[in-house]
Structure 1
Amino acid sequence: MIKTINDKRWKLAMTTYGYARCSTDENKQDINRQKRELKALGCVDEKNIYWEYESGTKVNRVELNKLLDQVKAGDILITTEVSRITRSTKQLCEIIEKVKEKQLKLVIGGFIVDCSKGELDAMTDGMLKMMGVFAEMERNMISERVKSGMANALAKGKCIGRPTTTINNLPPNFIKHYPKYRSNQINKSELAKICGVSRQTIHKYINVYEKD
Protein backbone atom coordinates (compact mmCIF):
# COMPACT_ATOMS: atom_id res chain seq x y z
CA MET A 1 0.00 0.00 0.00
CA ILE A 2 1.28 3.47 -0.89
CA LYS A 3 1.58 5.80 2.09
CA THR A 4 1.05 9.53 1.79
CA ILE A 5 2.65 12.36 3.75
CA ASN A 6 -0.02 13.80 6.04
CA ASP A 7 2.09 15.16 8.90
CA LYS A 8 1.76 18.97 9.13
CA ARG A 9 5.52 19.44 9.21
CA TRP A 10 5.77 18.03 5.70
CA LYS A 11 3.22 20.51 4.37
CA LEU A 12 5.53 23.36 5.36
CA ALA A 13 8.18 22.22 2.88
CA MET A 14 8.91 24.64 0.09
CA THR A 15 8.67 22.22 -2.86
CA THR A 16 8.05 18.52 -3.40
CA TYR A 17 9.96 16.77 -6.19
CA GLY A 18 9.75 13.26 -7.58
CA TYR A 19 12.23 11.05 -9.41
CA ALA A 20 11.35 8.11 -11.68
CA ARG A 21 13.66 5.86 -13.68
CA CYS A 22 13.45 2.85 -15.95
CA SER A 23 16.40 0.99 -17.42
CA THR A 24 15.01 0.59 -20.94
CA ASP A 25 13.02 2.88 -23.22
CA GLU A 26 9.27 3.38 -23.37
CA ASN A 27 8.86 0.62 -25.95
CA LYS A 28 9.81 -1.93 -23.27
CA GLN A 29 8.99 -0.28 -19.92
CA ASP A 30 6.20 2.12 -18.95
CA ILE A 31 7.45 4.81 -16.58
CA ASN A 32 3.95 6.24 -16.08
CA ARG A 33 3.21 3.79 -13.26
CA GLN A 34 6.02 5.34 -11.24
CA LYS A 35 4.72 8.83 -12.02
CA ARG A 36 1.26 7.87 -10.72
CA GLU A 37 2.79 6.46 -7.54
CA LEU A 38 4.87 9.61 -7.04
CA LYS A 39 1.72 11.73 -7.28
CA ALA A 40 -0.01 9.45 -4.75
CA LEU A 41 2.98 9.87 -2.43
CA GLY A 42 2.70 13.66 -2.53
CA CYS A 43 4.41 14.98 -5.67
CA VAL A 44 1.19 16.16 -7.29
CA ASP A 45 2.77 18.68 -9.69
CA GLU A 46 3.99 16.69 -12.71
CA LYS A 47 6.39 19.43 -13.76
CA ASN A 48 8.36 18.65 -10.58
CA ILE A 49 8.77 14.99 -11.53
CA TYR A 50 12.15 14.28 -13.07
CA TRP A 51 12.32 11.06 -15.06
CA GLU A 52 14.64 9.24 -17.44
CA TYR A 53 15.48 5.94 -19.07
CA GLU A 54 18.94 5.06 -17.76
CA SER A 55 20.73 2.22 -16.00
CA GLY A 56 20.54 2.38 -12.22
CA THR A 57 24.29 1.83 -12.09
CA LYS A 58 25.09 4.89 -14.23
CA VAL A 59 26.65 7.60 -12.07
CA ASN A 60 26.17 10.73 -14.21
CA ARG A 61 22.45 10.70 -15.01
CA VAL A 62 21.24 13.95 -16.55
CA GLU A 63 17.82 14.24 -14.89
CA LEU A 64 18.97 13.00 -11.48
CA ASN A 65 21.81 15.51 -11.48
CA LYS A 66 19.41 18.28 -12.50
CA LEU A 67 17.11 17.35 -9.64
CA LEU A 68 19.89 17.25 -7.04
CA ASP A 69 21.05 20.67 -8.23
CA GLN A 70 17.49 22.06 -8.12
CA VAL A 71 16.44 21.03 -4.59
CA LYS A 72 17.09 23.30 -1.62
CA ALA A 73 16.83 23.11 2.16
CA GLY A 74 13.41 21.93 3.37
CA ASP A 75 12.35 20.43 0.05
CA ILE A 76 10.97 16.89 -0.21
CA LEU A 77 12.45 14.39 -2.66
CA ILE A 78 10.24 11.37 -3.43
CA THR A 79 10.98 8.13 -5.26
CA THR A 80 9.07 4.85 -5.26
CA GLU A 81 12.00 2.65 -4.13
CA VAL A 82 15.76 2.78 -3.61
CA SER A 83 16.49 0.98 -6.89
CA ARG A 84 14.89 3.86 -8.81
CA ILE A 85 17.53 6.26 -7.44
CA THR A 86 20.44 3.87 -7.81
CA ARG A 87 21.51 0.24 -7.80
CA SER A 88 24.95 1.16 -6.50
CA THR A 89 25.54 1.15 -2.74
CA LYS A 90 28.45 3.56 -3.20
CA GLN A 91 26.33 6.05 -5.13
CA LEU A 92 23.49 5.72 -2.59
CA CYS A 93 25.91 6.74 0.17
CA GLU A 94 26.90 9.77 -1.91
CA ILE A 95 23.23 10.69 -2.44
CA ILE A 96 22.54 10.33 1.29
CA GLU A 97 25.39 12.76 1.99
CA LYS A 98 23.91 15.17 -0.57
CA VAL A 99 20.50 14.89 1.09
CA LYS A 100 22.04 15.68 4.49
CA GLU A 101 24.14 18.50 3.06
CA LYS A 102 21.10 20.12 1.44
CA GLN A 103 18.87 19.38 4.45
CA LEU A 104 16.20 17.56 2.47
CA LYS A 105 13.43 15.15 3.35
CA LEU A 106 13.76 11.94 1.36
CA VAL A 107 10.74 9.69 0.85
CA ILE A 108 11.30 6.19 -0.56
CA GLY A 109 7.88 4.61 -0.95
CA GLY A 110 6.60 4.47 2.62
CA PHE A 111 10.05 5.01 4.15
CA ILE A 112 10.62 8.61 5.27
CA VAL A 113 14.11 9.97 5.90
CA ASP A 114 14.16 13.41 7.51
CA CYS A 115 17.51 15.16 7.00
CA SER A 116 16.06 18.67 7.35
CA LYS A 117 18.49 19.31 10.21
CA GLY A 118 21.46 17.97 8.26
CA GLU A 119 21.63 14.83 10.37
CA LEU A 120 20.50 11.22 10.12
CA ASP A 121 20.09 8.85 13.06
CA ALA A 122 22.18 5.68 13.02
CA MET A 123 19.18 3.31 12.74
CA THR A 124 17.68 5.08 9.72
CA ASP A 125 21.10 5.40 8.09
CA GLY A 126 21.72 1.69 8.52
CA MET A 127 18.30 0.70 7.17
CA LEU A 128 18.70 2.97 4.17
CA LYS A 129 22.11 1.54 3.30
CA MET A 130 20.79 -2.00 3.78
CA MET A 131 18.08 -1.23 1.22
CA GLY A 132 20.85 -0.07 -1.11
CA VAL A 133 22.77 -3.32 -0.61
CA PHE A 134 19.69 -5.36 -1.55
CA ALA A 135 19.03 -3.18 -4.61
CA GLU A 136 22.61 -3.70 -5.80
CA MET A 137 22.46 -7.43 -5.07
CA GLU A 138 19.21 -7.74 -7.05
CA ARG A 139 20.84 -5.99 -9.98
CA ASN A 140 23.87 -8.31 -9.84
CA MET A 141 21.62 -11.37 -9.75
CA ILE A 142 19.73 -10.11 -12.80
CA SER A 143 23.04 -9.52 -14.59
CA GLU A 144 24.20 -13.04 -13.77
CA ARG A 145 20.96 -14.54 -15.13
CA VAL A 146 21.28 -12.51 -18.33
CA LYS A 147 24.88 -13.62 -18.86
CA SER A 148 23.93 -17.23 -18.23
CA GLY A 149 21.06 -16.96 -20.72
CA MET A 150 23.31 -15.39 -23.35
CA ALA A 151 25.93 -18.12 -22.90
CA ASN A 152 23.22 -20.76 -23.25
CA ALA A 153 21.86 -19.10 -26.40
CA LEU A 154 25.35 -18.90 -27.94
CA ALA A 155 25.89 -22.58 -27.18
CA LYS A 156 22.72 -23.34 -29.15
CA GLY A 157 23.94 -21.23 -32.07
CA LYS A 158 21.42 -18.43 -31.63
CA CYS A 159 22.15 -14.83 -32.60
CA ILE A 160 22.07 -12.49 -29.60
CA GLY A 161 22.39 -8.78 -29.05
CA ARG A 162 20.42 -5.76 -30.18
CA PRO A 163 19.05 -5.81 -33.71
CA THR A 164 20.57 -3.36 -36.18
CA THR A 165 18.67 -0.07 -36.22
CA THR A 166 17.04 0.51 -39.61
CA ILE A 167 14.37 2.82 -41.00
CA ASN A 168 11.88 0.00 -40.44
CA ASN A 169 12.38 -0.36 -36.69
CA LEU A 170 12.80 3.26 -35.59
CA PRO A 171 10.48 4.03 -32.64
CA PRO A 172 7.10 5.51 -33.69
CA ASN A 173 7.59 8.33 -31.17
CA PHE A 174 10.78 9.40 -32.96
CA ILE A 175 9.05 9.34 -36.38
CA LYS A 176 6.20 11.41 -34.93
CA HIS A 177 8.36 14.16 -33.43
CA TYR A 178 11.26 14.22 -35.93
CA PRO A 179 9.55 16.91 -38.12
CA LYS A 180 9.57 19.26 -35.09
CA TYR A 181 13.32 18.75 -34.75
CA ARG A 182 13.81 19.23 -38.48
CA SER A 183 11.88 22.53 -38.40
CA ASN A 184 13.86 23.73 -35.33
CA GLN A 185 10.82 23.67 -33.04
CA ILE A 186 12.78 21.43 -30.67
CA ASN A 187 16.48 20.67 -30.35
CA LYS A 188 18.23 17.30 -30.17
CA SER A 189 18.18 17.18 -26.37
CA GLU A 190 14.44 17.89 -26.26
CA LEU A 191 13.79 15.24 -28.89
CA ALA A 192 15.83 12.75 -26.85
CA LYS A 193 13.78 13.52 -23.73
CA ILE A 194 10.48 13.16 -25.58
CA CYS A 195 11.61 9.78 -26.91
CA GLY A 196 13.04 8.73 -23.55
CA VAL A 197 16.51 7.95 -24.93
CA SER A 198 19.99 9.47 -24.77
CA ARG A 199 21.33 12.14 -27.15
CA GLN A 200 23.68 9.52 -28.57
CA THR A 201 20.75 7.26 -29.45
CA ILE A 202 18.82 10.17 -30.99
CA HIS A 203 21.90 11.03 -33.06
CA LYS A 204 21.93 7.44 -34.35
CA TYR A 205 18.19 7.56 -35.13
CA ILE A 206 18.62 10.83 -37.05
CA ASN A 207 21.50 9.42 -39.10
CA VAL A 208 19.49 6.32 -40.00
CA TYR A 209 16.37 8.31 -40.83
CA GLU A 210 18.09 10.95 -42.93
CA LYS A 211 20.28 8.42 -44.73
CA ASP A 212 17.29 6.35 -45.83
Structure 2
Amino acid sequence: MIYGYIRVSTDKQTVENQRFEINQFCEKQDMLVSKWIEETISGTKNVEDRKLGTLLKKMKKGDILVCSELSRLGRSLLMIMGVLNECMNRDIEVWTIKDNYRLGSDISSKVLAFAFGLSAEIERNLISQRTKEALARKKSEGIVLGRPKGSKSSKTKLTGQEKKIKELLDKNVSYSAIGRILGVHRLTVTSFVKNNRELLE
Protein backbone atom coordinates (compact mmCIF):
# COMPACT_ATOMS: atom_id res chain seq x y z
CA MET A 1 0.00 0.00 0.00
CA ILE A 2 1.00 3.62 -0.52
CA TYR A 3 0.48 5.96 2.42
CA GLY A 4 0.50 9.75 2.14
CA TYR A 5 1.71 11.31 5.40
CA ILE A 6 1.02 14.97 6.20
CA ARG A 7 2.11 16.74 9.38
CA VAL A 8 1.80 20.39 10.39
CA SER A 9 2.98 21.88 13.67
CA THR A 10 0.01 24.20 14.27
CA ASP A 11 -3.53 24.58 13.03
CA LYS A 12 -2.47 27.85 11.37
CA GLN A 13 -0.48 25.87 8.84
CA THR A 14 -2.42 24.31 5.98
CA VAL A 15 -2.23 20.67 5.04
CA GLU A 16 -3.41 21.42 1.52
CA ASN A 17 0.04 22.36 0.19
CA GLN A 18 1.50 19.04 1.32
CA ARG A 19 -1.50 17.11 -0.04
CA PHE A 20 -1.18 18.89 -3.40
CA GLU A 21 2.56 18.13 -3.60
CA ILE A 22 2.02 14.45 -2.81
CA ASN A 23 -0.87 14.10 -5.27
CA GLN A 24 1.10 15.80 -8.06
CA PHE A 25 4.12 13.60 -7.35
CA CYS A 26 2.09 10.38 -7.32
CA GLU A 27 0.39 11.26 -10.60
CA LYS A 28 3.77 11.68 -12.29
CA GLN A 29 4.89 8.34 -10.86
CA ASP A 30 1.61 6.69 -11.95
CA MET A 31 0.88 5.88 -8.32
CA LEU A 32 -2.27 6.23 -6.24
CA VAL A 33 -2.29 7.01 -2.51
CA SER A 34 -4.12 4.17 -0.74
CA LYS A 35 -4.63 6.06 2.52
CA TRP A 36 -3.94 9.54 3.93
CA ILE A 37 -2.65 10.19 7.44
CA GLU A 38 -2.86 13.80 8.62
CA GLU A 39 -1.97 15.24 12.00
CA THR A 40 -1.44 18.62 13.62
CA ILE A 41 1.32 18.06 16.13
CA SER A 42 4.86 19.19 16.84
CA GLY A 43 7.62 17.12 15.25
CA THR A 44 9.33 17.06 18.65
CA LYS A 45 6.61 14.77 20.05
CA ASN A 46 7.57 11.12 20.37
CA VAL A 47 6.68 9.10 17.29
CA GLU A 48 4.71 6.68 19.50
CA ASP A 49 2.45 9.56 20.58
CA ARG A 50 1.67 10.52 17.00
CA LYS A 51 -0.49 9.02 14.26
CA LEU A 52 2.78 8.27 12.48
CA GLY A 53 3.65 5.77 15.20
CA THR A 54 0.32 3.96 14.78
CA LEU A 55 0.83 3.92 11.01
CA LEU A 56 4.34 2.46 11.23
CA LYS A 57 3.07 -0.41 13.39
CA LYS A 58 0.59 -1.54 10.76
CA MET A 59 2.70 -0.97 7.63
CA LYS A 60 3.99 -4.11 5.93
CA LYS A 61 6.92 -5.17 3.77
CA GLY A 62 6.76 -3.46 0.38
CA ASP A 63 4.60 -0.56 1.56
CA ILE A 64 5.63 2.99 0.63
CA LEU A 65 5.41 6.05 2.87
CA VAL A 66 5.26 9.30 0.86
CA CYS A 67 5.76 12.70 2.50
CA SER A 68 6.74 16.17 1.30
CA GLU A 69 10.13 16.09 3.07
CA LEU A 70 12.02 14.11 5.71
CA SER A 71 11.56 16.86 8.30
CA ARG A 72 7.84 15.93 8.40
CA LEU A 73 8.89 12.72 10.15
CA GLY A 74 10.55 14.54 13.06
CA ARG A 75 12.50 17.56 14.23
CA SER A 76 15.67 15.87 15.39
CA LEU A 77 18.33 13.66 13.87
CA LEU A 78 17.66 10.79 16.28
CA MET A 79 13.91 10.84 15.67
CA ILE A 80 14.23 10.88 11.87
CA MET A 81 16.86 8.15 11.98
CA GLY A 82 14.68 6.07 14.29
CA VAL A 83 11.77 6.19 11.84
CA LEU A 84 13.98 5.44 8.83
CA ASN A 85 15.77 2.64 10.63
CA GLU A 86 12.50 0.92 11.50
CA CYS A 87 11.23 1.30 7.92
CA MET A 88 14.46 -0.02 6.39
CA ASN A 89 14.62 -3.01 8.74
CA ARG A 90 11.08 -3.96 7.71
CA ASP A 91 11.60 -3.30 3.97
CA ILE A 92 9.27 -0.29 3.98
CA GLU A 93 10.27 2.46 1.56
CA VAL A 94 10.20 6.16 2.39
CA TRP A 95 9.82 8.53 -0.55
CA THR A 96 10.15 12.29 -0.15
CA ILE A 97 9.27 14.94 -2.72
CA LYS A 98 11.28 18.08 -1.94
CA ASP A 99 14.38 16.08 -0.96
CA ASN A 100 13.80 13.64 -3.83
CA TYR A 101 14.81 10.57 -1.79
CA ARG A 102 13.81 6.94 -2.36
CA LEU A 103 14.96 5.32 0.84
CA GLY A 104 14.85 1.55 1.11
CA SER A 105 16.86 -1.09 2.94
CA ASP A 106 20.04 -0.79 0.86
CA ILE A 107 23.23 0.58 2.41
CA SER A 108 23.34 3.67 0.18
CA SER A 109 19.89 4.68 1.46
CA LYS A 110 21.05 4.33 5.06
CA VAL A 111 24.13 6.46 4.44
CA LEU A 112 22.07 9.08 2.58
CA ALA A 113 19.44 9.23 5.32
CA PHE A 114 22.10 9.63 8.00
CA ALA A 115 23.86 12.40 6.07
CA PHE A 116 20.59 14.26 5.51
CA GLY A 117 19.50 13.98 9.12
CA LEU A 118 22.88 15.13 10.39
CA SER A 119 23.02 18.18 8.11
CA ALA A 120 19.43 19.14 8.99
CA GLU A 121 20.22 18.92 12.70
CA ILE A 122 23.35 21.05 12.33
CA GLU A 123 21.46 23.65 10.29
CA ARG A 124 18.68 23.94 12.91
CA ASN A 125 21.27 24.37 15.66
CA LEU A 126 23.06 27.08 13.67
CA ILE A 127 19.81 28.95 13.01
CA SER A 128 18.89 28.73 16.69
CA GLN A 129 22.32 29.97 17.75
CA ARG A 130 22.23 32.88 15.27
CA THR A 131 18.77 33.87 16.50
CA LYS A 132 19.87 33.83 20.15
CA GLU A 133 22.95 35.89 19.35
CA ALA A 134 20.91 38.47 17.41
CA LEU A 135 18.39 38.80 20.24
CA ALA A 136 21.16 39.13 22.83
CA ARG A 137 22.82 41.84 20.75
CA LYS A 138 19.59 43.82 20.40
CA LYS A 139 18.91 43.48 24.11
CA SER A 140 22.39 44.76 24.97
CA GLU A 141 21.74 47.76 22.69
CA GLY A 142 18.65 48.61 24.70
CA ILE A 143 16.15 47.59 22.03
CA VAL A 144 12.85 46.41 23.52
CA LEU A 145 11.96 43.00 22.12
CA GLY A 146 8.43 41.90 21.35
CA ARG A 147 5.17 43.81 21.75
CA PRO A 148 4.74 46.24 24.66
CA LYS A 149 3.40 44.49 27.74
CA GLY A 150 -0.38 44.30 27.69
CA SER A 151 -0.72 45.11 24.00
CA LYS A 152 -2.32 42.79 21.48
CA SER A 153 -1.33 41.97 17.94
CA SER A 154 -3.46 43.67 15.29
CA LYS A 155 -3.36 40.51 13.20
CA THR A 156 -5.66 37.53 13.77
CA LYS A 157 -6.48 34.32 11.96
CA LEU A 158 -9.16 36.22 10.02
CA THR A 159 -7.07 39.24 9.00
CA GLY A 160 -7.41 39.64 5.24
CA GLN A 161 -10.76 37.81 5.16
CA GLU A 162 -12.87 40.95 5.74
CA LYS A 163 -14.44 40.91 2.27
CA LYS A 164 -15.43 37.25 2.52
CA ILE A 165 -16.86 37.72 6.02
CA LYS A 166 -18.85 40.79 4.93
CA GLU A 167 -20.35 38.85 2.00
CA LEU A 168 -21.39 36.03 4.34
CA LEU A 169 -22.83 38.44 6.92
CA ASP A 170 -24.81 40.22 4.18
CA LYS A 171 -26.33 36.81 3.34
CA ASN A 172 -27.28 36.39 7.03
CA VAL A 173 -24.92 33.45 7.46
CA SER A 174 -24.48 32.66 11.18
CA TYR A 175 -21.18 33.12 13.01
CA SER A 176 -21.00 29.35 13.55
CA ALA A 177 -21.39 28.68 9.82
CA ILE A 178 -18.80 31.36 8.96
CA GLY A 179 -16.42 29.73 11.43
CA ARG A 180 -16.86 26.34 9.74
CA ILE A 181 -16.34 27.86 6.28
CA LEU A 182 -13.14 29.67 7.33
CA GLY A 183 -11.84 26.93 9.60
CA VAL A 184 -12.00 28.85 12.89
CA HIS A 185 -14.07 28.74 16.08
CA ARG A 186 -17.37 30.63 16.29
CA LEU A 187 -15.99 32.82 19.10
CA THR A 188 -13.09 33.85 16.85
CA VAL A 189 -15.60 35.13 14.29
CA THR A 190 -17.63 36.89 17.00
CA SER A 191 -14.54 38.64 18.36
CA PHE A 192 -13.31 39.61 14.89
CA VAL A 193 -16.65 41.13 13.89
CA LYS A 194 -16.87 43.00 17.20
CA ASN A 195 -13.38 44.51 16.78
CA ASN A 196 -13.71 45.30 13.07
CA ARG A 197 -17.24 46.63 12.65
CA GLU A 198 -16.05 49.67 10.68
CA LEU A 199 -14.42 47.39 8.09
CA LEU A 200 -17.45 45.16 7.77
CA GLU A 201 -20.09 47.86 7.35
TM > 0.5: yes
**Cα deviation, residue 91, structure 1:** 1.4
Match of 1:112 among 93, 102, 124: 102
For residue 71 of structure 2, the aligned residue among 75, 83, 91 is 83
Q: Is the 8 A contact 1:113 1:124 kept in 2?
A: yes
Higher relative contact order (CA 8 A, sep 6+): 1
| SS of equivalent to 1:158 | coil
- Tell me, what secondary structure is at the counterpart of 1:97? helix
Cα distance in 1 for partners of 2:53, 2:150 equals 31
Give the corresponding residue for 2:45. 58
Partner of 1:186: none
**1:57 deviation in Å?**
3.5
What SS does the aligned partner of 1:48 have?
Answer: strand
Counterpart code for 2:60 = K
Task: Give 1:159's match in structure 2, choosing from 142, 145, 157.
Answer: 145
The one-letter code matched in structure 2 to 1:112 is R
Identify unmatched segments of 5+ residues in structure 2: 159-174, 178-182, 192-201
**Equivalent residue, structure 2, for 1:125:** 110
1:150 aligns to what?
Answer: 135
1:150–1:160 CA contact under 8 A, matched in 2: no
Q: Which runs of 4+ in 1 moved over 4 A?
A: 43-47, 163-166, 168-172
Output the aligned Cα RMSD: 4.1
Compared CA separation, residues 154 and 25, structure 1 to 2 (3 A): farther
Contact 1:35 1:49 in 2 (8 A): no
**What secondary structure is seen at the aligned counterpart in 2 of 1:17?**
strand
Indicate the residue corresponding to 1:134 in structure 2.
Answer: 119
Whole-angstrom CA distance in 2 between matches of 1:142 and 1:32: 27
Distance of aligned partners of 1:102 and 1:132 in 2 relative to their CA distance in 1, 3 Å threshold: same
Contact kept, 8 Å, 2:81 with 2:113, in 1: the verdict is: no
Alignment check: 8 A CA contact 2:41 2:50 kept: no
Tell me, yes or no, if the aligned pair for 1:82 and 1:135 is still in contact at 8 Å: no
Give the greater-gyration-radius structure (CA). 2
Aligned to 2:171: none
Partners of 1:74 and 1:25 in 2: how far apart?
32
Query: Is 1:37 paired with 2:21?
Result: yes
Deviations 1:22-42 (A, max 9, x none): 44442xx44422221111222
Q: Which letter does structure 1 place at the counterpart of 2:44? A: T
Q: CA deviation at 1:17?
A: 1.0
Percentage of identical aligned residues: 27
Does the 8 Å CA contact 1:154/1:160 hold for their aligned counterparts?
no
- Paired with 1:57 and 1:88, the residues of 2 have a C-alpha distance of 7
- Per the TM alignment, residue 132 of structure 1 is displaced from its structure 2 partner at its CA by 0.7
